[in-house]
Structure 1
Amino acid sequence: MTRRDTYVCGIDAAIDVVGGKWKVLILWALHAEGTCRFGQLKREIPGVTEKVLTSHLRELEADGIVRREVYEERVPRVEYSLTPLGASLNEALEPLGAWGRAHLLPQDHHDRRSA
């Protein structure tokens, strides 16, 4: 969280962490799938570029929302998951997702996604 001393309110602080389309979709994918590797996350979030996904994962990690675990194996493996802080942020976003499903998605999409 880069601007801590300039926040006007709690919404301002929260939006700084999840600002933009891709960060909330990363949170949703990690919540839905649990621990994910980079390629799996990219498949779960259609349209995101590798550059943007990498950048946002780094920012979310720096903010304590996402945990990055590196496994030193013959072929190194990196996995991403939500921290407890990230899980609590996802819980806070659930009512917003419910509002979007109820008011903006076509009826046939209601059962497909829970974000």
Structure 2
Amino acid sequence: MSIDTAPKAIIDYSFTSQSIRKLAADYGISLKTLASIIGCTATKIYNKPIRLPKAPSRRLLQLTDLMYLATNYFGSVSRAKKWFVEYNLGLDAKPLQLCQTEEGIKRVENSIFRLATGMTA
């Protein structure tokens, strides 16, 4: 599923701070890093029962989509998490660091697709 095909209702409904903390734990990402990626503060993630605005929710969906693609390619969540935090020569950065911008997310997604289709990433 691509973010472009994600149901609009999910983005409109948003994520709770509890679901964001769970995603961070599942992905092995610190809350500070996750907050930076999705464009909000770590304090906002700790607050209850707030919901994120649409833009950070959309970024979170994009990150979830990338993790799903990487997990499918690498065969496990632990291998995907490892790939996200290690330096990638083809990207000239750690994939997780690139996820802070729309362009970076597209580069990471392209890298995963290139790997999945047997091209160099």
TM-score (norm 1): 0.29
Which structure has the highest helix share of the two?
Answer: 2
Which structure has the highest strand share of the two?
Answer: 1
